[in-house]
C-alpha cells in the first residue's frame, strides 16, 4: 500500500518532537519530507545561549543528526526554502522542486522583531535566533576589547549579553522599560538581576530608547533618544519575536498574529494543513517557550494518526540560562484589587521571593536567588488548590508545611559559633557571645567590644537576638519604631544602609532592608525617594509617584480640592511689574483669594487644578518661579530691610537673605526649611524661631539653628558666629546639607538637632573645615541636578497631567 | 563496567592525593598514584604540620599553591617524587569558612608531549591575574596566560569569579573565540573547567583545569549544584553541567528531568555526605574510568557545589 505523504516545513524543536512522537507511534504511517531553511536539521535552539558563551558546543545541542534522519527514511531538504503551497494540487514548491502532500505541517517558527530605527540594516546588526546569528556574535567577540550593544533586556537579550561578556566583550544592555524582564519579573527581582549582571561587568541601561544606529559601512555607534552615544562593534537585536507566517499567508490560510489552528492543530481554513510551534495562534495565544510547543507536537502526532487529543494552554514558567543567575517566575504577579503578596527577602544571600495570592489560591510567584521549591510552587499555581491553611508558612516551601511558623530566636539559638553575624566587620556569633559573657549587656556594649552592627547596621536585629538568646530575661529587646510596616528597620537604619551599601534605587533598598512588601507603601516610598535623591543626586532618578500630591502637583491642595499658587519673592523683595503680573493672573484665572503670607510673599488661593499650567506660565513670563510653598524643601528666607533703610541695621540683611534664597531654592530636604536674616538684634525678621536664623551684629553674623514656631515653639541655638557674609552662607549651606544627609524624613531641623546634639553638628559644620567644604560641595552637586523651576518644566512637558480626571481630595494632603 | 582506559592517551595528572587535618597535622587520607607504588607508600607514611611541605603550605597560607620545582623547595618528598618522575604539584585547600577540611594535591610529570594547564588566578585591583600555573609543554600558552588578565565576567576565570560558580567551557581553541583561543588552539586545549576556591582571606582564587585531547586532565567532567537554594533542604545535588569523552553531553535542559544524587549516593554523594574530597581508583561509580576525583566547594557553612573529574 502506498504510504501517505507528509510534508513538514520547518525542522525546529516542535517539528523534531512531532517526528519523534509520530515515528514512535507508527513509523510506517507516512513518507516524510522535511524542509528547513536553515542548512541543518533539528537542534536544541534554547541551548544556543550556552553555545554562544562557550559553555556548550554545537554538536552537544544537535537533537537529530543526519544519521537519525537517514535511519528513519526521512527525506531532508535542508537549506531549501519553500516558495509556495498549492493547496488545490496539494503540492509544496521548494527552491529545488515540488513535493506532493497528503498532509502538510507548517512549522516555520518565528522571526525576530527588528526595531525600525535608522541603521537597522547595517552590517553588524544581528538578531538572535539561529546558529548563524550565534556564530556572527562569536566572530564579533574575536576582536579583543570589542564592544557589543544588546537591544532588549528580556530572556534572549540577557543570555546574549552574558555570553558575549564571557567571550570577552564590553557589553551594554539597553532596555526600554524600567526594569529587566518586566514580563517575567517584578521590579524587585529585576533589580537583583540587574545587580547580578553588573557584577559580571555588563552595563545595563533601563528606560533606554534606541534612536539610531550609525556607522560607515558597518555598525559603529548606537544613539539613544536622550543623546547618549554607545560605540559598538556589534548590535544584537533581541526585542522579541513574531510568528513567521509568510508561507501560510501566501497559501491563503487564515492568519491573524499567527496561523490560526484549532485544538487538534488543524488550520482553521484547510483540513489537510496543520500548524505547529511558534508560527501558530491558538485561542488568541501565540507561543515562545518550548513547553507548549512540545505539547502541541504530542497532540499533532495523534491527530495525524487519527487519534483524538486536545491542545490546552497551560501556565508557563521562566528560567534564565545565565550561569549563576537563579530566577524563576510563573503565573500572574501583577498587583490588583483583592490580591495579597507574601514577600520574603534574605539580603545576605541575595534572595527574594514573592507569592501572589487571590481568593486563597496561589496565582503567581517570582523567585530570585533561591529556586529550590519552584516546581512545588508552580504545581500550586497550576492546580489552583486552596492554600489558606498553609498561608502562614507557604513562603518557606514544602519542607515547612504543617509545621509551626519559624521562631527567629530558635533559628539564632541554633546557629553555630562560627556563623557570621556581622558581615561588614566579620564578627561571628561566638565573638558576640564571648563579649556578652564578658559583660557586654546591651547593643551598644556589644558594638563597642566587637564592632558588630557598627557599619551598615543591617545585623542589628540579629545581634539583639543573640543578646536575647544569651541573656534570656536579662535582656530587654528594644522597641525602636520601624520605618513602616514594610520593614523592621528604623529610618536611621535605612539611611545608614543606603550610604554604607551604596544603594541607589528603591528596589536595592527594599532588598537590602528585607522589605516585607514587593514595592513599599505610601509611608516609606516618599522617605526613600528623599533619602536616595539626597545621597545620590546624580545616580538616582527622582520618582514623582513616591511623592505626596502637593509635590507631584507642585502646588498646595486646599480643602475644597483647589490649589494655592505662590511665586518666589527673593528675600521678600518684589517689584511693581511682579505685583502687576500677580494681579493680572489673579484676574485672569478668577482667583478668589489673594493673601500676603508670613513668609513675605503673596499667595493666590483657590486656583483650579486645570488652570495651574496657565497661571504658572503667566507668572514665569513675568520672571517669577515657584516658591515651593508645598515642598519638603526651602520655603522662604525672611528678611528685614537692613542697612539700606533701617537706622539700626548693622549689615545688609536683605542682600544676605536674597543670596541665601538664591543658593538654596529648589533643594529637597527632610521637611520644609525656613530661614530668616535680621539686620540687628531687634530681630524684625523673627530669625530666632527659624530653622536657620541669622542675626546681623556689628561684628558679623550670629548663625542660629533649630528654631521652631509651629506645633512646638523653640528658640534657635547658636551654631557659630561668622565674621563675613561668605562664612555665614557657608555655615548655613553646610548645615542644610548635613541635615539633608542625616535627618529622618519629616523631622524638622529642630527635632533632628535635638536627636544628634548640637555639638555633633558643630563638630562637622563649624570645627571640621574639610567636612564643611565637603558638605558645601555635595550640596552644589545636588543643586546642579535639582535647582530647576518645576513650573517651567511642567508647563513645557506635563500640561496634560493637570487635566482633571478624578476627585483628588481623598489623597493625603501635606 | 570494567575500567576502560585508552592506553594511547597519556594523562596530564599522574597522581592525586588527599590530606585531612588531624589535630595539628595533615594526614594522608587516600589517593590514586597509578603505578607509582614507591611514591605512594612513602606518601602514606607522611604527615605535614601547618606550613610544612606543600599541603602544609596551602593550609598555612590559606590559598592554592603551585610548585613547579621540587629541588631546593619546601617539598618534603623530593627524592621519591624524582624517582617517580614527578616534577610539579598543585595543592588545592578545601576551606569551610576559616576551617580547613582537606587539601587535595595533584602531581604531574614533565615531558615534551604533556599538554594541559592547571592555573591559579587571584584578584588584584579588581582584575584576575595569574598567580601561577603548571602547563607541561604548553610553554607558549603559559607565556600568553602570564600576560593576560580578566575583568569580572570575562573569559573562563572572569566568568567563574563574577558568578561564583564553577563553569565548564568547550572547544577552547577550535573555532570559538575563547579569550586565549589562538594559543589554546595551538596548544591543543579543548575543555576548560574553572572553579572558585574559597579561602579565609579576602583574596578570591579561581582554579582552572584546561584539558587537551592527547593528554587530558580528565575524560569526564561534572559540575554538581548542592546549594539549598537549588536543591532544597535535602542534602542532595543536581548535575548542572558535564561532558564525557564517551557519553558526550551529560547535562539536561529545562524540558528534561534533572540528574540528582543524595548524600552518600555514589561517589559524588560521598563527597556531598563527607564534605571532603574523594579520590577513588576504579570500581563502581567511576563510569569506566580509572580515577574519580571529587572536590567539594563550601559556601555559608555547607557544601554548595561538587566538581568531579574522571581520569
Sign of CA dihedral B38, B39, B41, B45: positive
Structure-model confidence comparison of residues A17 and A459, the more confident one: A17
SS3 string, A703-744, reads EEECCEECCCEECCEEEEEECCHHHHHHHHHHHHHHHHHHCC
Residue A813 has pLDDT above 60, yes or no: no
Tell me the pTM: 0.75
Q: Which residue, among B149, B213, B232, would best test binding to A if mutated, counting the most A CBs under 10 Å from its CB?
A: B232
Q: What is the pLDDT of residues A303-359, one digit of tens each?
A: 999 998 999 998 888 878 787 788 888 888 777 788 888 888 888 778 899 999 999
pLDDT at B177: 47
User: What is the Cα–Cα distance from B304 to B280, expressed in whole angstroms?
Assistant: 21
Q: What is the mean pLDDT of residues B68-88?
A: 91
CA distances to A138, A168, A219, A530, A804 from A148, rounded to whole Å, are 11, 10, 10, 35, 46
pLDDT at B173: 61
Q: Does the beta carbon of A54 lie under 8 angstroms from any beta carbon of chain B? A: yes
Chain B residue closest in CA terms to A168 = B154
Give me the residues paired with residue B47 across strands: B27
pLDDT band at B115 (very low <50, low <70, confident <90, very high): confident
Non-local (6+) Cβ contacts of A516 within 8 A are: A343, A345, A485, A486, A487
The enclosing H or E element of A606 equals: strand A602-607
pLDDT at B125: 85
Residue B109 has pLDDT above 60, yes or no: yes
Chain B residue closest in CA terms to A351 = B229
- Which residue in B165, B181, B231 is closest to A324 by CB distance? B165
Contact B241 A139 (CB under 8 A): no
User: What is the Cα–Cα distance from B132 to A183, expressed in whole angstroms?
Assistant: 45
End-to-end CA distance of chain B: 15
Structure-model confidence comparison of residues A251 and A411, the more confident one: A251
Q: Does the beta carbon of A418 lie under 8 angstroms from any beta carbon of chain B? A: yes
Contact B248 A60 (CB under 8 A): yes
What CATH class has A4-110+243-304? alpha beta
Structure-model confidence comparison of residues A661 and A645, the more confident one: A661
Residue B213 has pLDDT above 60, yes or no: yes
Contact A291 B153 (CB under 8 A): no
- Which residue in B155, B233, B248 is closest to A168 by CB distance? B155
Q: Would you say the CATH fold of A326-406 matches that of A114-239?
A: no
Homologous superfamily in CATH for domain A634-786: Sulfite Reductase Hemoprotein, domain 1 (3.30.413.10)
* Domain ranges for chain A: 4-110+243-304, 114-239, 326-406, 410-541, 549-626, 634-786
From chain A, the residues in CB contact with B95 under 8 A are: none
Q: Give the 3-state secondary structure of residue B90.
A: strand
CATH code of domain A114-239: 3.50.50.60
**Set of cell numbers at residue A220:** 559603529
Residue B181 has pLDDT above 60, yes or no: yes
Backbone angles phi, psi at A77, to 5 degrees: -120, 70
Q: What is the mean pLDDT of residues A521-546?
A: 93
Residue B275's CB is within 10 A of a number of other CB atoms, namely 16
Percent residues over pLDDT 90 in chain A: 64
Structure-model confidence comparison of residues B10 and A331, the more confident one: A331
Angle at B53 between CA B51 and CA B55, to 5 degrees: 80
Percent residues over pLDDT 70 in chain A: 94
- Which residue in A142, A165, A418 is closest to B153 by CB distance? A165
From chain B, the residues in CB contact with A57 under 8 A are: 170-171
Q: What is the pLDDT of residues A418-467, one digit of tens each?
A: 777 776 677 888 889 888 888 888 888 888 888 887 665 557 777 888 88
Q: What fold does the segment set A326-406 form as a domain?
A: Enolase-like; domain 1 (3.30.390)
Contact A57 B171 (CB under 8 A): yes
Residue A801 has pLDDT above 70, yes or no: no
- Which residue in A56, A291, A323 is closest to B170 by CB distance? A56
Which residue segments constitute the domains of chain B, with CATH numbers given?
1-110 (3.30.450.40)
Homologous superfamily in CATH for domain A549-626: Sulfite Reductase Hemoprotein;Domain 2 (3.90.480.10)
pLDDT band at A362 (very low <50, low <70, confident <90, very high): very high
Q: What is the mean pLDDT of residues A233-241?
A: 94
Closest CA to A579 of A599, A564, A594: A594
Contact A291 B255 (CB under 8 A): yes
Alpha helices (H) in A305-373, listed in sequence order: none
Q: Are A296 and A276 in contact (CB under 8 A)?
A: yes
pLDDT at A546: 86
Tell me whether strands B236-244 and B260-262 are parallel, antiparallel or unpaired: antiparallel
Q: What is the mean pLDDT of residues A215-221?
A: 95
pLDDT at A134: 94
Q: What is the mean pLDDT of residues A707-729?
A: 94
pLDDT at B298: 96
Residue A763's CB is within 10 A of a number of other CB atoms, namely 12
Sign of CA dihedral A309, A313, A317, A321: positive
Chain B residue closest in CA terms to A428 = B97
User: What is the Cα–Cα distance from A321 to B237, expressed in whole angstroms?
Assistant: 18
Q: What is the pLDDT of residues A280-306, one digit of tens each?
A: 999 999 998 888 999 999 999 999 999
pLDDT at A405: 46
- A700-706: long-range contacts (C-beta < 8 A, 24 or more apart)? A700/A651, A700/A724, A700/A727, A700/A728, A701/A651, A701/A656, A701/A725, A701/A727, A701/A728, A703/A728, A703/A731, A703/A732, A703/A735, A705/A735, A705/A749, A705/A753, A705/A758, A705/A761, A706/A749, A706/A750, A706/A752, A706/A753, A706/A754, A706/A758
Q: Does the beta carbon of A325 lie under 8 angstroms from any beta carbon of chain B? A: yes
The nearest CA of chain A is from the CA of B53 a distance in Å of 28
Structure-model confidence comparison of residues A72 and A441, the more confident one: A72
Among chain B, residues having any CB pair with chain A shorter than 8 Å are 97-99, 151-156, 158-159, 162-165, 167-172, 176-179, 181, 227-233, 241, 243, 248-249, 251, 253-255, 300-301
Closest CA to A297 of A311, A308, A286: A311
Q: What is the mean pLDDT of residues A666-678?
A: 95
> Which of A322-336, A761-775, B48-62 bottoms out in mean pLDDT, i.e. has the lowest?
A322-336
> Which of A244-248, A344-348, A535-539, A750-754 bottoms out in mean pLDDT, i.e. has the lowest?
A344-348
- Which residue in B181, B253, B301 is closest to A47 by CB distance? B253
The nearest CA of chain B is from the CA of A288 a distance in Å of 14
Largest Cα–Cα distance of chain B, in whole Å?
56
- Which residue in A54, A141, A399 is closest to B170 by CB distance? A54
Residue A512 has pLDDT above 80, yes or no: yes
**Set of cell numbers at residue A186:** 517584578
Residue A102's CB is within 10 A of a number of other CB atoms, namely 15
pLDDT at A595: 94
pLDDT at A209: 95
User: What is the Cα–Cα distance from B144 to A426, expressed in whole angstroms?
Assistant: 38
As a whole number, the mean pLDDT across chain B is: 88
Give me the residues paired with residue A188 across strands: none
Q: What is the mean pLDDT of residues A744-752?
A: 94
User: What is the Cα–Cα distance from A220 to A231, expressed in whole angstroms?
Assistant: 6
Restricting to A residues 162-201, those with a Cβ less than 8 Å away from any Cβ of B are 162, 165-168, 199-201
Contact A372 B171 (CB under 8 A): no
Amino acid at each position: 500500500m502506498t504510504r501517505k505523504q507528509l510534508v513538514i516545513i520547518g525542522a525546529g524543536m516542535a517539528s523534531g518532537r512531532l517526528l519523534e512522537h509520530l515515528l514512535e507511534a507508527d513509523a510506517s504511517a507516512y513518507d516524510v519530507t522535511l524542509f528547513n531553511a536553515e542548512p541543518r536539521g533539528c537542534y536544541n535552539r534554547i541551548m544556543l545561549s550556552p553555545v554562544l558563551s562557550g559553555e556548550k558546543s554545537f554538536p552537544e545541542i544537535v537533537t537529530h543528526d543526519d544519521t537519525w534522519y537517514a535511519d528513519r527514511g526521512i527525506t531532508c531538504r535542508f537549506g531549501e526554502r519553500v516558495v509556495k503551497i498549492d493547496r488545490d494540487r496539494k503540492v509544496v514548491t521548494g527552491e529545488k522542486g515540488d513535493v506532493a502532500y497528503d498532509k502538510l505541517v507548517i512549522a516555520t517558527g518565528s522571526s525576530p522583531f527588528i526595531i525600525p530605527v535608522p541603521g537597522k540594516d547595517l552590517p553588524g546588526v544581528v538578531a538572535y535566533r539561529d546558529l548563524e546569528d550565534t556564530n556572527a556574535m562569536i566572530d564579533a567577540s574575536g576582536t579583543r576589547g570589542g564592544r557589543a550593544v544588546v537591544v532588549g533586556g528580556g530572556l534572549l537579550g540577557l543570555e546574549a549579553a552574558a555570553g558575549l561578556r564571557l567571550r570577552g566583550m564590553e557589553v551594554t544592555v539597553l532596555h526600554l522599560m524600567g526594569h529587566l524582564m518586566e514580563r517575567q519579573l517584578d521590579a524587585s527581582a529585576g533589580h537583583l538581576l540587574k545587580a547580578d549582571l553588573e557584577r559580571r561587568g555588563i552595563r545595563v541601561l533601563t528606560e533606554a530608547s534606541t534612536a539610531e544606529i550609525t556607522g560607515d559601512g558597518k555598525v559603529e555607534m548606537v544613539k539613544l533618544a536622550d543623546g547618549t552615544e554607545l560605540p559598538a562593534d556589534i548590535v544584537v537585536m533581541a526585542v522579541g519575536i513574531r510568528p513567521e507566517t509568510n508561507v501560510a499567508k501566501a497559501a491563503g490560510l487564515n492568519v491573524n498574529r499567527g496561523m490560526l489552528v484549532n485544538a487538534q492543530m488543524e488550520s482553521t481554513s484547510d483540513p489537510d494543513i496543520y500548524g505547529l510551534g511558534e508560527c501558530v495562534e491558538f485561542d488568541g495565544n501565540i507561543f515562545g517557550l518550548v513547553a507548549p510547543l512540545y505539547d502541541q507536537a504530542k497532540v499533532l502526532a495523534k491527530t495525524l494518526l487519527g487519534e483524538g487529543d486536545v491542545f490546552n494552554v497551560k501556565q508557563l514558567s521562566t528560567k534564565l540560562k545565565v550561569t549563576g543567575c537563579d530566577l524563576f517566575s510563573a503565573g500572574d504577579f501583577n498587583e490588583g484589587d483583592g490580591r495579597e503578596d507574601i514577600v520574603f527577602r534574605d539580603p545576605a544571600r541575595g534572595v527574594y521571593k514573592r507569592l501572589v495570592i487571590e481568593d486563597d489560591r496561589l496565582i503567581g510567584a517570582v523567585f530570585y536567588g533561591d529556586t529550590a521549591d519552584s516546581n512545588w510552587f508552580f504545581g500550586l499555581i497550576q492546580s489552583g488548590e486552596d492554600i489558606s491553611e498553609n498561608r502562614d508558612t507557604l513562603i518557606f516551601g514544602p519542607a515547612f508545611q504543617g509545621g509551626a511558623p519559624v521562631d527567629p530566636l530558635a533559628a539564632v539559638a541554633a546557629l553555630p559559633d562560627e556563623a557570621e553575624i556581622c558581615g561588614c566587620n566579620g564578627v561571628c556569633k561566638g565573638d558576640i557571645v564571648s563579649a556578652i559573657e564578658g559583660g557586654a549587656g546591651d547593643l551598644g556594649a556589644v558594638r563597642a567590644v566587637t564592632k558588630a552592627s557598627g557599619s551598615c547596621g543591617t545585623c542589628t536585629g540579629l545581634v539583639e537576638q543573640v543578646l536575647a538568646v544569651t541573656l534570656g530575661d536579662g535582656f530587654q529587646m528594644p522597641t525602636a519604631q520601624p520605618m513602616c510596616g514594610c520593614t523592621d528597620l528604623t529610618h536611621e537604619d535605612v539611611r545608614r544602609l543606603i550610604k554604607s551599601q551604596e544603594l541607589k534605587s528603591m528596589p536595592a533598598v527594599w532588598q537590602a532592608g528585607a522589605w516585607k512588601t514587593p514595592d513599599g507603601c505610601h509611608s516609606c516610598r516618599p522617605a526613600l525617594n528623599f533619602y536616595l535623591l539626597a545621597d545620590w543626586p546624580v545616580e538616582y532618578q527622582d520618582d514623582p509617584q513616591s511623592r505626596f500630591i502637593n509635590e507631584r502637583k507642585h502646588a498646595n491642595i486646599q480643602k475644597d480640592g483647589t490649589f494655592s499658587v505662590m511665586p518666589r519673592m527673593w528675600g521678600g523683595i518684589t517689584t511693581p511689574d511682579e505685583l502687576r503680573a500677580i494681579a493680572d493672573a489673579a484676574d485672569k484665572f478668577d482667583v478668589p483669594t489673594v493673601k500676603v503670607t508670613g513668609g513675605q510673599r503673596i499667595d493666590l488661593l483657590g486656583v483650579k487644578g486645570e488652570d495651574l499650567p496657565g497661571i504658572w506660565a503667566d507668572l514665569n513670563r513675568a520672571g517669577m518661579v515657584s516658591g515651593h510653598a508645598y515642598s519638603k524643601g526651602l520655603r522662604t528666607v525672611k528678611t528685614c530691610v537692613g542697612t539700606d533703610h533701617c537706622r539700626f541695621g548693622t549689615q545688609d540683611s536683605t542682600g544676605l537673605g536674597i543670596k541665601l534664597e538664591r543658593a538654596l531654592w529648589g533643594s529637597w530636604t527632610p521637611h520644609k526649611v525656613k530661614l530668616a536674616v535680621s539686620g540687628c538684634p531687634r530681630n524684625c525678621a523673627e530669625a530666632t524661631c527659624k530653622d536657620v536664623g541669622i542675626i546681623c551684629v556689628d561684628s558679623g553674623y550670629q548663625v542660629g539653628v533649630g528654631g521652631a514656631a509651629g506645633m512646638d515653639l523653640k528658640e534657635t541655638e547658636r551654631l557659630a558666629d561668622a565674621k563675613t557674609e561668605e562664612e555665614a552662607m557657608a555655615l548655613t549651606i553646610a548645615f542644610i546639607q548635613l541635615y539633608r544627609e542625616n535627618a529622618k524624613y519629616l523631622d524638622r531641623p529642630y527635632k533632628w538637632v535635638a536627636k544628634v546634639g548640637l555639638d555633633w553638628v558643630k563638630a562637622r559644620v563649624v570645627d571640621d573645615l574639610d567636612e564643611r567644604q565637603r558638605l558645601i560641595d555635595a550640596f552644589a552637586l545636588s543643586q546642579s541636578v535639582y535647582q530647576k523651576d518645576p513650573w517651567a518644566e511642567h508647563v513645557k512637558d506635563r500640561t496634560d497631567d493637570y487635566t482633571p480626571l478624578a476627585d483628588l481630595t481623598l489623597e493625603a494632603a501635606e | 563496567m570494567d575500567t576502560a582506559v585508552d592506553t594511547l592517551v597519556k594523562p596530564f595528572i599522574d597522581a592525586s592525593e588527599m590530606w585531612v587535618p588531624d589535630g595539628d597535622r595533615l594526614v594522608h587520607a587516600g589517593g590514586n598514584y597509578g603505578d607509582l607504588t614507591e611514591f605512594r607508600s612513602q606518601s602514606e607514611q607522611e604527615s605535614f604540620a601547618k606550613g610544612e611541605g606543600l599541603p602544609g603550605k596551602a593550609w598555612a597560607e590559606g590559598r592554592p599553591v603551585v610548585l613547579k620545582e621540587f629541588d631546593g623547595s619546601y617539598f618534603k618528598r623530593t627524592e621519591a617524587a624524582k624517582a617517580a618522575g614527578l616534577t610539579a604539584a598543585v595543592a588545592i585547600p578545601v576551606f569551610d569558612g576559616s576551617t580547613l577540611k582537606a587539601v587535595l594535591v595533584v602531581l604531574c610529570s614533565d615531558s615534551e608531549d604533556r599538554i594541559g594547564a592547571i592555573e591559579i588566578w587571584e584578584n588584584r585591583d579588581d582584575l584576575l591575574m595569574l598567580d601561577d600555573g603548571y602547563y607541561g609543554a604548553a610553554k607558549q600558552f603559559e607565556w600568553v596566560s602570564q600576560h593576560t588578565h580578566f575583568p569580572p565576567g570575562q573569559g573562563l576565570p572572569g566568568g567563574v569569579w563574577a558568578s561564583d560558580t564553577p563553569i565548564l567551557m568547550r572547544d577552547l581553541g577550535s573555532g570559538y573565540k575563547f579569550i586565549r583561543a589562538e594559543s589554546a588552539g595551538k596548544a591543543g586545549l579543548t575543555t576548560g573547567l574553572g572553579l572558585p576556591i574559597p579561602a579565609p582571606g579576602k583574596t578570591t582564587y579561581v582554579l582552572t583545569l584546561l584539558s587537551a585531547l592527547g593528554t587530558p586532565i580528565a575524560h569526564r567532567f561534572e559540575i554538581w549544584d548542592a546549594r539549598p537554594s537549588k536543591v532544597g533542604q535535602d542534602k542532595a545535588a543536581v548535575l548542572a553541567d558535564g561532558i564525557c569523552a564517551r557519553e558526550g553531553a551529560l547535562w539536561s535542559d529545562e524540558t528534561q528531568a534533572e540528574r540528582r544524587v543524595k548524600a552518600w549516593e555514589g561517589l559524588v554523594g560521598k563527597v556531598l555526605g563527607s564534605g571532603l574530597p574523594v579520590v577513588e581508583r576504579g570500581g563502581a561509580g567511576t563510569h569506566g574510568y580509572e580515577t574519580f576525583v571529587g572536590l567539594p566547594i563550601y559556601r555559608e557553612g555547607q557544601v554548595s557545589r561538587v566538581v568531579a573529574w574522571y581520569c
